[in-house]
Amino acid sequence: MTELRRLTSLQIQAETDVVACRQCAKQIAGWLGLAPLDQIRFATAVSELARNVYQYAGSGAFHFYLERDARGLAVAIMFDAIDHGPGISQLPQVLDGSYVSPTGMGVGMLGAQRLLDYWKVDTGQNGTHIRGGKAVHPALPFPDVEKIEALRRTLASGGFADPFVALQEQGSELLLTTAELQSKQKELEATNLELETTNKGVVALYSELEKTAQELTDASESKSRFFSNMTHEFRTPINIIENISKLLLNGTDGELNPEQLKQVGFIAAAAGELAEMVNELLDLAQAESGRMEVVPTTFTLQSFTEQLRQFTAALALRYPHLSWDIIPLDHPVILETDRNRLFQIMRNLISNAFKYTPMGNVTVRVFQPDEHAIELLVEDTGVGISDENLGRIFEEFARIRMPGLTQVQGNGLGLPLAQRLAVLLRGEIRVTSVPGKGSRFSVSVARHLQEGEDDALPLSLEGLSVLIIDDNEGDRYLLRHLLEPYNPLIIEANSAGDSIDKLHAVRPDIIFLDLELPDIYGADLLESMDWAMHARVLINTAKPLNEAERATLASQSAGVLQKGQPAYTESVLRHLRRLTGGIA
């Protein structure tokens, strides 16, 4: 609660009273120890309002107060400007600066408002009451009665206000204000110079960051290309080793003695592990580059749970000291997602749970947190993971050393791949673990993979070139008609030979490639392209593909489209949305 103590009052009846009012305001501000510029601001605001009272109302009064807060401190100089004139008819326009008058009315009031810390106006036909004030920073001990009386005597003894003296004082104040403005201007210029220098540094930093980001992107793409090329090159010799090992183990060219069988068994097992690592490397490279194909199918969660049960039962034969259980949902649920990728995630997590559980049990639980998602939980009572290692388990090739587990096999790719696959299925993997007590890996994925994903994103092909390589005129027409609303530059070729010059001269941004061309098989044409172009190719074929053919083509291109598949149009647009987000 605040209290106002009146200091003095002045009547405004003549021009000289306006000057006296200004001098009184300045004396009070100086008595309270306000800074010189604040004294001038307060006196100027009072002077402008006093002049308005005299000019537009003819007469009025000013009452000056000292405000005391609940702590007993002086916190502000306040005044009441009161007149009984006709009032201010367009007060809102005056105060927002939009009112224009040939007499200049309103300019002084608007200026006074800006110079003060407190402001309130009541106006009407019976006159105007303005209460304004200037804050005292910092607040001062409230003056006692003797000091206030001494101030009143000083103000009363001021006598007749000499306009010429007042004019000289205002000139001095103007000089002081001008000097202050010049000082502020110099500070502003120095600040602007500093900001300009800083901005140049920021621009240079952004340029360096963009360069570094591009280098990182190039390095990541190089790594992905290396992994993909390396794994393709590795597959042929690995397949030869595996197949010849099978021939030897089956005794196709003669029986082996027990020692030879043992040796060849080691070779076959090592080749199988190497093949698994190569496949994981290829999947990881595809996931990182955004070229991994996900093929949603419709299936029941119950059938998938049974698939997990069969896999876990087969795996558990190698771990006779462990117990396990699969706990399904008690109600039917339909999924529309990539079953193979989801199984790949769960296979990795369940295998890890068995590997890192010397004794105890492994449990897989199935949940449905809401109608849009499912959650699969793999928990074990194994060795657990320390807090410092939790952040490393999703790093590529990271192998966490566990006390007492020296024979655990693995290449450190399973969890990073599983995490990337979960993201592709619009989900994530979360993990909690307690060393010595076990771990819990939770996989949540969308029930409907296509719901709300790329289909919701806008598609624009403006400025992009699209090459359609297909000998079927009807198929070319269908694609052309589908793409034209998105404004690409469409180029057509009816054979591999017809496409060669277009591929090299234009280097299209997107390529639709039919497999059954009249002069060369489409996959051979794809093989002849440089690797950078593979990421722009969408295989577009009516040829039935088995799983192996589809997987091979998907690993060498940006995606595989089946012309006769349901929702073919939606599939084309979904691939284009994904591609247009990553074309270099």
What pLDDT, in 10s, does the model give residues 373-394? 899 999 999 988 888 777 677 7
**pLDDT tens digit sequence for 491-505:** 999 998 888 888 887
pLDDT value for 143 = 92
Residues 257 and 307 in one domain: no
Radius of gyration of the chain (CA): 42
Residue 180 lies in a domain: no
- Give the domain range for residue 562: 459-580
**pLDDT tens digit sequence for 467-484:** 999 998 888 888 998 899
Phi-psi map region of 292: left, alpha, beta (phi>0 left; psi -120 to 50 alpha): beta
Residues 327 and 371 in one domain: yes
- Beta strands 297-300 and 334-337: pairing type? antiparallel
Confidence of residue 396 (pLDDT cuts 50, 70, 90): low
CB 368 within 8 A of CB 422: no
pLDDT value for 584 = 41
What gap in Å lies between CA 106 and CA 49, rounded to an integer?
10
What gap in Å lies between CA 111 and CA 157, rounded to an integer?
30
More confident residue, 227 or 298: 298
Least confident residue range of 69-73, 102-106, 244-248, 304-308: 102-106
What gap in Å lies between CA 77 and CA 473, rounded to an integer?
89
Residue 101 lies in a domain: yes
Residues 477 and 364 in one domain: no
pLDDT value for 451 = 53
Q: How many domains, in total, are found in the chain?
A: 4
Residue 406 lies in a domain: yes
Q: What are phi and psi of 360, to 5 degrees?
A: 130, -135
Cα dist from 50 to 6, 181, 496, whole Å: 18, 26, 92
Least confident residue range of 176-185, 308-317, 561-570: 176-185
Instruction: Determine the distance from the C-alpha atom of residue 548 to the mean position of all C-alpha atoms in its chain, rounded to a whole number.
Output: 39
**pLDDT tens digit sequence for 401-411:** 665 555 555 55
DSSP 357: -
Closest CA relative to residue 134, chosen from 56, 25, 238: 25
In 74-136, where does DSSP find H-type helix? 91-96, 107-115
Residues 427 and 484 in one domain: no
What gap in Å lies between CA 150 and CA 308, rounded to an integer?
96
Among 112, 146, 161, the domain-final residue is 161
CB 382 within 8 A of CB 357: yes
More confident residue, 298 or 198: 298
The per-residue pLDDT of the chain, averaged, comes to 81
Residue 185 lies in a domain: no
Looking at the chain, the whole-number percentage of residues with pLDDT higher than 90 is 26
Among 288, 309, 328, the domain-final residue is 288
Residue 181 lies in a domain: no
pLDDT value for 271 = 76
CATH of residue 222: 1.10.287.130
Q: What are phi and psi of 368, to 5 degrees?
A: -130, 90
Residues 441 and 467 in one domain: no
What gap in Å lies between CA 404 and CA 216, rounded to an integer?
39
Residues 321 and 432 in one domain: yes
CATH of residue 432: 3.30.565.10
Among 254, 288, 322, the domain-final residue is 288
Give the largest CA-CA distance in the chain: 133
Confidence of residue 582 (pLDDT cuts 50, 70, 90): very low
- Is a pLDDT exceeding 70 seen at residue 290? no
Residues 87 and 203 in one domain: no
Q: What does the angle CA 96 – CA 101 – CA 105 come to, to the nearest 5 degrees? A: 70
Say whether the peptide bond before residue 508 is cis (omega within 30 degrees of 0): no
Residue 40 lies in a domain: yes
Bridge partners, residue 299, by sequence: 335
**pLDDT tens digit sequence for 251-289:** 777 888 888 888 888 888 777 777 766 666 666 665 555
Residues 275 and 309 in one domain: no
- Is a pLDDT exceeding 70 seen at residue 416? yes
Residue 182 lies in a domain: no
Confidence of residue 107 (pLDDT cuts 50, 70, 90): low
Write out the DSSP string of 276-304: HHHHHHHHHHHHHHT------EEEEHHHH
Determine the length of the chain. Answer: 584
- Is a pLDDT exceeding 90 seen at residue 241? no
CATH of residue 575: 3.40.50.2300
**pLDDT tens digit sequence for 339-367:** 988 998 998 899 989 988 988 999 999 99
Burial degree of 118 (CB within 10 A; 0-12, 13-18, 19+)? middle
Residues 231 and 270 in one domain: yes
Residues 233 and 344 in one domain: no
What gap in Å lies between CA 451 and CA 427, rounded to an integer?
13
Residues 257 and 108 in one domain: no
What gap in Å lies between CA 73 and CA 265, rounded to an integer?
95
Bridge partners, residue 444, by sequence: 375, 428
**Structural element, H or E, at residue 465:** strand 465-469
Instruction: Determine the distance from the C-alpha atom of residue 310 to the mean position of all C-alpha atoms in its chain, rounded to a whole number.
Output: 42
pLDDT value for 570 = 78
Residues 156 and 12 in one domain: yes
Residue 390 lies in a domain: yes
